[in-house]
Chains A and B, each alone.
Chain A
Amino acid sequence: MTPDALNLISGLFNVWLWVKLFSLVLVLFYFVLSLVIVRQVDLMGQILKTEVVPALRTASLLHAAAVGILFILVVILI
């Protein structure tokens, strides 16, 4: 077995690489969930219209933005 192949195999067993990949996938799913919440608040606001609904829409958008920032931070920090 060549040294390059050995390096590749040892790289596959690098724990931190897997941790980083897992974290990225997890936060990506979390971001998708936050977008679903934005859509859900929109639907809920169509069914029941109150004075509070615009504030809830804004909150859901801020939440999605925060999760997006978290995704970027995970890419940078880990």
Chain B
Amino acid sequence: MAGRISLNTNPKTETEIPPAKNQPSKTGPAKPDLAPVASVPSVDTELRDVSGGKLTAFAAFPVGVSFSGEEDKEKVVLLLRQHPITNLPWILASIAFLLLPFFLFSALLLTGTVPPLPTGFKMAFILFWYLGTVTYAFLNFLYWYFNVYIVTDERVVDTDWYSVIYRKVSSALITKIQDISSTQSGVFAGIFDYGDVNIETAGEEPNFDFSRVAHPQLVAKKLEEMMQDEGHKGEDSL
């Protein structure tokens, strides 16, 4: 299931939909069955509605968030991480690691094949096992928490941590963005509303792939809106 977002710009606050161009004006011949003027929420309102707390994967206009290389007047519009459901494999693995010693020792006791190991060794091994499990979970959490996609009012920033010592930070100006598309594939992605946002940029700027972020259509919609705003600013300055 792939969706391409239209270039309709939504105003920043709740506003009225203007009448279509082919509709008669109020001064012209009036039609009795004119539809009432509707009020629609702006993209920003939608973003705020789905935005979460401190450990969220989707934060719109977050407070107390800044990043390396941020300029003084730059404002963070979106802070995105992979959808929390994508953490399920390592969470399940951690739970399995925690439960494994119980099952293992129960099985050994039942079969009467407990190896004659010194008590000190057993204690040290159990401590090592559980601490190792904590390390595994902690590292996975860190990679999830710090692998972020940031959208500011000026640019898009992608921070990737590949290992303990290797990271990659890439950014592109909003004005350099040429095309935005969002993709949702799979049952889980449909149920939990997550997917990829692909951003194509002009020139030597890198392309971006916001992988498995929550509400991909909404993110694409906001980026489209920002692109249009930047376009209008450019026209105004000419």
Give residues in A with beta carbon < 8 Å to B: 19, 23, 26-27, 30, 33-34, 36-37, 40-41, 43-44, 46-52, 56, 59-60, 63, 66-67, 70, 73-74, 76-78
- A48 near B67 (CB under 8 angstroms)? yes
Complex Cα–Cα for A27 and B164 (A):
19
- B54 near A48 (CB under 8 angstroms)? no
- A34 near B135 (CB under 8 angstroms)? yes
The residue in chain B whose Cβ has the minimal distance to the Cβ of A75 is B124
18 contacts between A and B (CB under 8 A): A34-B135, A37-B135, A37-B164, A40-B142, A40-B164, A44-B145, A47-B159, A47-B167, A48-B65, A48-B148, A49-B67, A56-B142, A56-B145, A63-B134, A63-B138, A66-B131, A78-B118, A78-B120
Known: A67-B131, A73-B124. A44 touches B138 (CB 8 A): no
Q: Does B97 contact A (CB under 8 A)?
A: no
Known: A27-B128, A33-B135, A74-B124. A50 touches B159 (CB 8 A): no
The residue in chain B whose Cβ has the minimal distance to the Cβ of A59 is B138
Closest Cβ of chain B to A57, distance in Å, is: 11
Main secondary structure of the interface of A (DSSP, over half): helix
Among A52, A67, A70, A76, the residue within 8 A (CB) of B145 is: A52
Complex Cα–Cα for A12 and B145 (A):
48
- B131 near A77 (CB under 8 angstroms)? no
Known: A41-B142, A77-B121. A63 touches B68 (CB 8 A): no
Residues on B with beta carbons closer than 8 Å to the beta carbon of A27: 128
Closest Cβ of chain A to B151, distance in Å, is: 14
Contact with A along B110-124 (1 / 0, CB 8 A): 000000001011011
Complex Cα–Cα for A50 and B139 (A):
18
Complex Cα–Cα for A73 and B138 (A):
22
- B55 near A19 (CB under 8 angstroms)? no
Q: Lowest 4 CB-CB distances: which A-B pairs, in order? A: A77-B120, A44-B146, A47-B68, A49-B66
Q: Does B169 contact A (CB under 8 A)?
A: yes
The residue in chain A whose Cβ has the minimal distance to the Cβ of B143 is A44
Residues on B with beta carbons closer than 8 Å to the beta carbon of A41: 142
- A47 near B67 (CB under 8 angstroms)? yes
- A70 near B146 (CB under 8 angstroms)? no
Residues on B with beta carbons closer than 8 Å to the beta carbon of A59: 138
Complex Cα–Cα for A52 and B67 (A):
14
The residue in chain A whose Cβ has the minimal distance to the Cβ of B138 is A63
Complex Cα–Cα for A66 and B107 (A):
29
Q: Which has the most chain A C-beta neighbours within 10 Å: B64, B66, B121, B124?
A: B124
Complex Cα–Cα for A35 and B82 (A):
27
Residues on B with beta carbons closer than 8 Å to the beta carbon of A36: 164
